[in-house]
Structure 1
């Protein structure tokens, strides 16, 4: 088994990364081999990696894409030095190009109320399921994969908590708000009529199988349209809204980090920028000295 194959096996079996993530690493390493004209990875030095980065930049790739590939290469060489006897990591000391951080789009509290307060036409079971899903999104700040991965026994209706399996299969406990709990309770009798005896998924379709992320996206689009929202709404926007609104109310960045399941607080800090944008907008609209002259 060659070095790349061993690394990919390590990612899948030991680090337990998803197939999608492992495939991304495989693609990045294959691209490195192409950029160095097929030379063995064990022979590459710092100058070779730097040259590969220059080639990527010449292709007008976004800085974030280049940074991701460099991170993939660095991870491979770290593994190869520890496990495969490589003498050095040629990626060490190389800095990725700086990317302009785009702030995530969020929904205001009023928009969330408008979205969750409506209902879609059609099947009552689907309406109950959708409301439970979207209330959980907003109540607990879940990722899309975390929501679709929920099983029945992951939500404790008595304690108002849910056990969530996040990135790297790490689990965490998140609070579930009253309206989300009520929505889940309303969905469970409907679910029982659709599910088979061995179905464990909390959210299922009409055929009794676990919902796919794509299905959730399509249902949320339908809810947003029927609620009369003018902006495009995707599931992650409810996670962003949860984080921003909790931070605006509490100011507790560390608590928001834990609830979101971020490994680093620097990832959570983007929401402080969103909070500042909100405050700045309020200031511009309200403060007499800040108002622009008409």
Structure 2
């Protein structure tokens, strides 16, 4: 780590984030963003010499390399948090990132897979092997309960309440919530758990062939392989299954507050992106069924 980002305080900053209950994936993103900033700043620049212009220049370099506005905004947020930490510890007098506006990203609707396609894929028979049954249970939970990938990775056996059809989830900021388990998820878990492979003392629900907790990357890879074997016309990701869960529930229930609670969103504005998707769904129904809409399209 270059001297312009003091290694000791950098480590203390990451420890501070860890104590806040941030997920391992989020912590990794913070670490990468800080390492990248250190590479972009001039050598031999100490913390008190870093200015707003230095940070703006770093953002311009990243933009020139093709980083998207959402990525730039996240990195700026990381930098702002880090310099705020330095300021609180008396290392700098002011935060050079405080008055920098994040680039605005264009509105992007979530990608949702049609429910019919997902149901057909999930209903396809799977081999009666520990790994196949494990993967089936993973995918059912991602779509059936809308879990984040990090939440799925952290699941322990005591978090499952199969008789009550609930799962206890630790979300962002260590926020606790209970999420319903669909009947398909319960069946998949009951088939998998008796064949679960685990080393002594391992409480993770989902484990590898070596008996240790599955990592996020391993789950992503398994879903990718599964989507290929199912001849899917698109790449499937855990986040896409979560989006599909949210949009399908909202399209049928039209209760945004319930969807917010199920997803564990802190702000309703985060959940509101799915209302746009729902309006698109309604517009498509209108175009397909209303005689005046048909007449317009001729």
TM-score, length of structure 1 as denominator length: 0.86
Q: What CA deviation, in whole Å up to 9, does each residue of 1:238-281 have, x standing for no partner? A: 21111111111222222212221222222222211211221122
What is aligned with 2:212?
209
- Superposed, 1:156-195 pairs within 5 Å as 156-191=161-196, 194-195=197-198
1:274 aligns with 2:274: no
* C-alpha spacing 1:147/1:60, structure 2 compared with 1 (3 Å): closer
Distance 1:117 1:275 in 2: 25
Distance 2:134 2:278 in 1: 31
Q: What CA deviation, in whole Å up to 9, does each residue of 1:212-243 have, x standing for no partner? A: 33333343334434444322222222211111
- 1:114 corresponds, among 104, 112, 120, to 120
Q: Secondary structure at the match of 1:289?
A: helix
Q: What CA deviation, in whole Å up to 9, does each residue of 1:144-194 have, x standing for no partner? A: 222232111111112211111223433321111222112212222222xx3
Distance 1:267 1:197 in 2: 40
Q: Which runs of 5+ in 2 are unaligned?
A: none
- Superposed, 1:1-294 pairs within 5 Å as 3=6, 5-12=8-15, 13-18=18-23, 20-38=25-43, 39-120=45-126, 122-191=127-196, 194-291=197-294, 293=297
CA RMSD of aligned residues (A): 2.6
Distance 2:8 2:248 in 1: 44
Q: Which moved more, 1:3-12 or 1:149-158?
A: 3-12
Q: Which moved more, 1:145-154 or 1:207-216?
A: 207-216
1:220·1:233 contact (CA, 8 Å) conserved in 2? Answer: yes
Distance 2:135 2:256 in 1: 29
Distance 2:225 2:40 in 1: 44
* C-alpha spacing 1:86/1:17, structure 2 compared with 1 (3 Å): same
